[in-house]
Amino acid sequence: MAELNENRTAVDLAAVDLVVTARRLVTPEGVRPGRVLVAGGRVLAVEDLESADTVPASVPRMDAGDHYVLPGLIDSHVHFRTPGLTHKEDWEHGSRAAVAGGFTTVMDMPNTVPPTLTEEAVREKAAMIAGHSLVDHRFHIGLDPERPELLATLDPEVATSAKVFMAGHHTAPTVVRDPVALEKAFVAAAEGGVQLVLHAEDDLLFQLLDGWWGDPENYREYEARRPRSGGIAAVARVIELVRRHGTKAHILHLSSAEEADLVSAARAAGLPVSFEVTGHHLSFTDEDTKRLGARTRLSPSIRQQADQDRLWEALRSGHSATIGSDHAPHTVEEKTQTVQKSPPGLPGVQELAVGVWTGMRRRWPDEDPDLAIARLVRHLAEGPADLFRLPGKGRIAPGADADLVFFAPDATWMLSAHDVRAKCGWSAYEGWTMTGRVERTLRSGKVVWDAATGEFGDYDGRWLSCAPAPVSAETEGA
């Protein structure tokens, strides 16, 4: 096999401060044996194992053995609850859960108290988090329904994406119900080059149905009371606005087969629209919600088996662009209120990669595991890095950040509350027998999680600066 770093003579071996060796290194070119040379927190070179090892013997080495070595994973959809809701979650606990799940970068949502709707609020949040995060991070700014025009002049150094709530729930204070305001947001985002990320359900439709039906009294009714029609109507509206204005739109936690078909068709037609699936929608169905109640209460609702099957097919076919956790912890006390008062949402960043890997191995047991792991990396590293313009993230390649994950693909273990690192202390996956385990996580070449010792690293994760969108011949005339 050819050497991966062809210009090896240019590598300054004196700068190397860590060597990671793996028989199953997951690179953009595929899974192969390799050696990663790390210097100053970045990948200096990626070499063949057959290459002469001329790095001084005094340099520390880590051998991953038969484990996969993945690029640090990216969760582009978390709610770490800072500021204002830190009784449920905070950045120290949330980032512990992240690195224990193999994530070295997260993108946090704006529905905090107060909501993060301005550039100054984003900067203030970044200052609060400094020194308290094990992961690198960026923020989705929130759309202010009263001032959608702000997106046209959003400083890309602060944020390049904006969250739009088209439907409300307990922690969504800024819902866009006015179609005129929604269209203004699409116009402004297109002008400012801002990527919209959307909770795409029709809130007015739900209000109409609630006025007729009343509130659900038990969880047997929950999925039907938050029906797929709300998502289908909203997704169709998003696609039309994308068609009209050329706005880039990424639909979050897509839940139904019909929505997946609509977005896949729109993307095939050349529209800049994509979608995320969540681990929860891949792992549970409405039958689980009938049995588990608030533990799997989500917004959008977890739907039927046929919908889950379609989302898995979207993952396998590449129709979906990213997988997100929608990590949204609540306390046990909050989740055990009445059906009307119990908030939707559950923790999930720690469980995401292993939960999806477990599902893939069970659904497609005969698939080559190298193909399966490449799919996982595509959706949890390469895809979000490309979509949200995260330079240096999502790949093991020279010049990239030395974010590496040692993953044991065949390890079998049962998740218990004792394993949960999120502040809420519970998981909907408790009792699941998982396949695959994150054994070690490195961020910038430093260990931030070691499963063997249960120890975490330094809370020096960075607020990531945002790179301007590249101009290409394809986009210049769009």
Known catalytic residues are: 326
Helix, strand, coil percentages (3-state) for the chain, rounded to 5, are: 35, 25, 45
Amino acid, res. 106: V
The end-to-end CA distance of the chain, in Å, is: 41
Peptide bond into 343 cis (omega under 30): no
* Structure tokens, 78: 């978390």
CA dihedral (40, 374, 257, 268) positive or negative: positive
What gap in Å lies between CA 391 and CA 37, rounded to an integer?
Answer: 19
* Structure tokens, 472: 């290409």
- DSSP codes joined into one string, 126-160: HHHHTTSBSSEEEEPEEP-TT-GGGGGG--TTT-S
- DSSP codes joined into one string, 79-124: ---TTT-TTT--HHHHHHHHHHTTEEEEEE-S-SSS---SHHHHHH
Pairing of strands 42-47, 73-78: unpaired
How many other CB atoms are there within 10 angstroms of residue 429's CB atom? 26
Instruction: Give the ranges where 246-304 is alpha helix by DSSP (H).
Output: 257-268, 279-283, 286-292
Pairing of strands 455-456, 446-450: antiparallel
Chain-centroid distance of CA 331 in Å reads: 22
- Strands, E assignment, 233-359: 249-251, 273-278, 322-324
Please provide residue 186's backbone torsions phi and psi, each rounded to the nearest 5 degrees. -65, -40
What gap in Å lies between CA 361 and CA 420, rounded to an integer?
Answer: 23
What gap in Å lies between CA 335 and CA 57, rounded to an integer?
Answer: 54
Instruction: Give the ranges where 340-422 is alpha helix by DSSP (H).
Output: 352-363, 369-377, 383-387
Contact by Cβ (8 Å): 74, 393: yes
Q: How many residues does the chain have?
A: 478
